A and B are shown apart, each in its own frame.
Chain A
Amino acid sequence: MIRDGTLAKKPITIFEKIEESLERLNQKMEVIIEIQKKGNDSQKSVLTLPDASLDVMTLLSMPDHLRKTAMAICRCERATAEDIAEQTSRARAVESAYLNQLVIMGYLKKERKGRKAYFYVDRETQG
């Protein structure tokens, strides 16, 4: 029985790993697509704002689509793209792309826990 159990477990973990990799790949692609869509401007900002603070003046100067995401994450301590999507009523994939863009811009930190990616404003060390 024990043997059977471990045998049955193995393919599942493999699938989980594949799923995890696909998810990560997907997120990277979303960021790439997002950057391409926004043209050179965001690429420049990626390079020029390595560790910026997400203060209210920054929020004000952000483009509308990113501000919505940034405001939502400000209200949570930490959140997944899904949590944010719930608040903004936009698709999870869209929020995932915006969140990742905010990470690249230096406004957010990202942390993986298992298969989930959590985003948060690092108010302690950032600035």
Chain B
Amino acid sequence: MSAMSRIIAVHSYKGGTGKTLLSVNLAAAFAKFGLKVAVFDLDFRAPSLFAILKAENPEYYVNDYLNDSCDAKQVLVDLSSRIAGNGKFYAGLANPATEAIRDMSSKDRKWEMRALGKLLALKKTLLEDQKFDYLIFDTSPGLQYSSINAIVAADFVVVATTGDRSDVDGTKRMLQELYNLFDKKTGLVLNKVLDLSATAKKAEMGNKIKTVYRVPMLGIVPCFCEILRAEGNLIFVEDKPDHPFTKIIAEMARKIENNEVNDGNSIFVEDKLIIPSQR
């Protein structure tokens, strides 16, 4: 069990790459496998999980847990009834009040150090004692305390990126410097990819990820108009079980569950001179 990735941080360089969508749907996919899972909103600058899950006004927020005002269990909102089957689905929400956001952005190093300790402690309190199978951290984009704390506390980092110029370079640097420095297992998700229908395009994308980012690929997600149209009102994995997006997410969850992310895909063991897709 110890070799498995049970705390997963979903991170990206830029905002708007689909972290929250991935976090929620990955969690829902695990729950549909019959597992016990909790998704945490650690984006204290721009909380959004409460809106996506339509779970407003919980008794305690993740902010309270990090501020030592409650214990980890009290933060969790039970949303299992939203997911079919025997799985358990919980959420820890970030406080969206302006005052709370201001408070979180003015913490000092000492507080951040304690916050890291509190995130690390979830391994004992939730994974071991409460028998959770997975904890998923939805983080703030870019390099800042809350997201790096989440990355350090996690066993596995899912990096969401789009092909956009504004994102590629920073993601590359983050992969090579940040996650590497912390020795983190990483899987890349290329999101919002256009014209993915052709198999050739898929292979090309796979190659691109290997040569440009040089990390294992967790999945490629095409741009789905249905997702935009849903306006964040649907948990696709639950509400649209036959949608291709649901299938892609389920495959990612399966890869993580079976510890297959590094298998064969890892570029670190491959020749650096691998030929980039030629056009």
Contacts and interface: CB of A to CB of B under 8 A. Distances in A.
Most buried by B among A55, A57, A127: A55
Given A55-B145, A57-B145, A127-B108, A71 B152 contact: yes
Interface string B71-111: 00000000000000000000000000000000000001110
A60 interface: yes
Interface of A is mostly: helix
Given A71-B152, A71-B182, A55 B120 contact: no
Contacts of B112: 53, 55-57
B117 interface: yes
B148 A56 contact: yes
Nearest to B111: A127
Interface in B3-18: none
Interface residues of B, number: 17
B151 to A, nearest CB: 8
B181 A67 contact: yes
* Size category, A interface: 10 to 19
B110 A127 contact: yes
B182 to A, nearest CB: 7
Contact of A56 (B110, B152, B183): B152
Interface in A108-127: 121, 123, 126-127
30 contacts: A53-B109, A54-B113, A55-B112, A55-B113, A55-B116, A56-B112, A56-B116, A56-B149, A57-B112, A57-B145, A58-B109, A59-B182, A60-B148, A60-B178, A60-B181, A64-B181, A67-B182, A68-B183, A71-B152, A71-B182, A71-B183, A74-B116, A74-B117, A121-B113, A123-B113, A123-B114, A123-B117, A126-B110, A126-B113, A127-B109
